[in-house]
């Protein structure tokens, strides 16, 4: 099929590249000329494992092109995906302004039948509004073509987005009629070989499904964090307790890692939007508020443990921080718990020496502070530091030289916010070891 994708952020680009890989002819459209020039030269503007290779390969095969021109990019499209960002707006809900503006521009130029598919995370009712906009504007123009709108939310997680697209756990398709669902079924057939993954529903349900999934994931994280916080003072060890939970097939093994709370560009934003939508409908949504509250507290607990260790005095103290990205596998620092901790440490008067294998440029371009030094290596971050805090679960932090750390850190202690060393006996190596649910 001929596919146009509007928005070459991480959702749009992964979708475009993977649909091109599966044999479609794809044109990705973005109004950022620099980004498009880079993509034409094979440069992916953010870190995402496997994506560079897929973009290059699909480009070489002639299946993937890039343009800044909406008319040129959509001229032959059977399907136009809208993959623009919907960040938190001033009222807490998703800001769908740019998405509506784009739909408006499309309605001014489309002159052939096609399916417009909303990939962006949007409040239920948005697709219906966009459908109404097309119906009105195409009618007014006497365009003589029919444009239908469908919802197809994405469930890609940063760091595993290409694999998530190639092997989806489910494909959600929301439409207002069977013919549109059939079109999307055909498009996704290569990704649903056993025909069991595509779930059809109406437009509003598909839009809501995305929020429901992220709320459920956030709920699990906040609940395991809360359980960990209670386990510690009760003398219970959250490590084996997690194992017990994960082994229950009714509960399942994932999103049960206690830590410094969830971050990133999706879970926090979607929770805020859902709370706002609930409020607009007169629902108080107490669970959703609690999920957020627990999450907000979590970084504070790491900070409090460090503060206690220093007897409340940060002056003259230097803290090494491993990990800036909101999780491993990405250079994304949006709503990263690590940055929240670093800000709190700097505000309290500490010096910070931080290291991240790939997210340092993102920090350099958005956050500088005289007390913050970005180190070239994990070891270098620890030189002249009193203690170490591990905030992101990068592979290279998994097996550090603990003896070296014990002899290098001035007040040897590791604040293991990701529970990476939960089975290690660091005490015998001369390192104090603080972990969520045990000593935070
Ligand atoms: C999330 C969802 O997982 C995707 O399905 C969804 O498509 C995406 O949001 C989106 O809405 O676009 P992502 O933000 O990439 O994906 O990150 P996750 O891997 O879900 O992690 C979110 C946060 O939770 C991270 O800060 C992570 O460190 C934290 N987390 C995760 C925990 O603290 N504990 C866990 O057990 C799991």
Interface TM-score (ipTM) > 0.85: yes
Q: What is the pLDDT of residues 169-185, one digit of tens each?
A: 999 999 999 999 999 99
Q: Is 154 in the pocket of ligand 1 (CB under 6 A)?
A: yes
Closest alpha carbon to 302 in 352, 340, 353: 340
Report the DSSP beta bridge partners of residue 318: 351
Using CA positions, which residue lies closest to atom 12 of ligand 1? 266
Task: Supply the pLDDT for residue 160.
Answer: 95
Residue 143 has what pLDDT? 87
CATH of domain 246-434: 3.40.50.720
What is the structure's pLDDT at 231?
Answer: 93
**CATH fold of 2-201, please?**
Rossmann fold (3.40.50)
- The sheet that has 25-29: what strands, in order across it? 64-67, 25-29, 2-6, 79-82, 114-118, 147-151, 171-174, 198-201
- Of all protein residues, the one whose alpha carbon is nearest to atom 6 of ligand 1 is 155
- The helix or strand, by DSSP H or E, that contains position 295, with its residue range, turns out to be helix 286-309
The angle, 0 to 180 degrees and rounded to 10, between the axes of the packed helices 126-141 and 203-234 is 160
168 lines ligand 1 (CB under 6 A): no
Q: What are 73-83's pLDDT values in tens digits?
A: 999 999 999 99
Residue range(s) in the chain whose domain bears CATH number 3.40.50.720 = 2-201, 246-434
Atom 25 of ligand 1 has which residue's CA nearest to it?
262
pTM for the whole structure: 0.96
* 102 in active site: no
Which among 18, 28, 102, 266 is annotated as catalytic?
Answer: 266
Atom number, ligand 1, closest to the C-alpha of residue 154? 7
Whether 266 lines ligand 1, by a CB cut-off of 6 Å, is yes
pLDDT along the chain (440 residues), means of 10: 96 98 97 96 94 96 97 97 95 94 96 97 98 96 94 96 96 97 97 96 98 98 96 92 97 96 96 96 97 96 96 97 96 97 98 98 95 98 98 97 97 96 92 86
């Amino acid at each position: 099929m001929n596919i146009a994708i509007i928005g070459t952020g991480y959702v749009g680009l992964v979708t475009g590249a993977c649909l091109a890989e599966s044999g479609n002819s794809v044109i990705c459209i973005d109004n950022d000329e620099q980004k498009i020039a880079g993509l034409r030269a094979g440069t992916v503007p953010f870190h995402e494992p496997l994506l560079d290779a897929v973009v290059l390969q699909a480009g070489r095969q002639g299946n993937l092109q890039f343009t800044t021109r909406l008319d040129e990019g959509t001229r032959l499209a059977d399907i136009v995906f809208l993959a623009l960002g919907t960040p938190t707006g001033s009222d807490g809900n998703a800001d769908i302004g740019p998405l509506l503006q784009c739909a408006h521009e499309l309605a001014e130029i489309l002159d052939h039948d096609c399916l417009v598919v909303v990939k962006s995370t949007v409040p239920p009712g948005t697709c219906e509004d966009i459908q109404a906009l097309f119906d009105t504007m195409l009618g007014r123009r006497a365009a003589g073509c029919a444009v239908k709108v469908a919802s197809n939310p994405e469930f890609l997680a940063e760091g595993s987005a290409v694999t998530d697209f190639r092997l989806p756990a489910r494909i959600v398709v929301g439409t207002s009629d069977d013919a549109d669902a059939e079109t999307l079924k055909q498009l996704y057939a290569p990704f649903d070989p056993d025909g069991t993954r595509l779930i059809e529903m109406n437009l509003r349900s598909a839009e809501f499904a995305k929020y429901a999934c992220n709320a459920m994931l956030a709920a699990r994280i906040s609940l395991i964090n809360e359980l960990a916080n209670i386990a510690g003072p009760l003398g219970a060890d959250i490590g084996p307790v997690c194992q017990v939970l994960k082994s229950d097939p009714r509960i399942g093994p994932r999103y049960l890692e206690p830590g410094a709370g969830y971050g990133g560009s999706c879970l926090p934003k979607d929770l805020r939007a859902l709370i706002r939508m609930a409020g607009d409908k007169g629902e108080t949504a107490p669970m959703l508020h609690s999920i957020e509250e627990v999450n907000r507290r979590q970084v504070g607990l790491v900070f409090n443990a460090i503060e206690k260790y220093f007897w409340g005095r940060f002056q003259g103290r230097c803290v090494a921080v491993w990990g800036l990205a909101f999780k491993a596998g990405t250079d994304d620092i949006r709503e990263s718990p690590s940055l929240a901790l670093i800000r709190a440490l700097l505000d309290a008067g500490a010096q910070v020496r931080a290291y991240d294998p790939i997210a340092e440029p993102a920090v350099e371009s958005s956050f500088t502070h005289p007390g913050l030094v970005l180190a070239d290596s994990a070891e270098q971050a620890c030189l002249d530091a009193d203690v170490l805090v591990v905030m992101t679960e990068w592979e290279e932090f998994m097996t550090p030289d603990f003896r070296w750390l014990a002899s290098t850190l001035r007040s040897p202690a590791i604040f293991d916010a990701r529970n990476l060393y939960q089975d290690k006996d660091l005490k015998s190596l001369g390192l104090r070891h603080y972990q969520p649910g045990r000593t935070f």
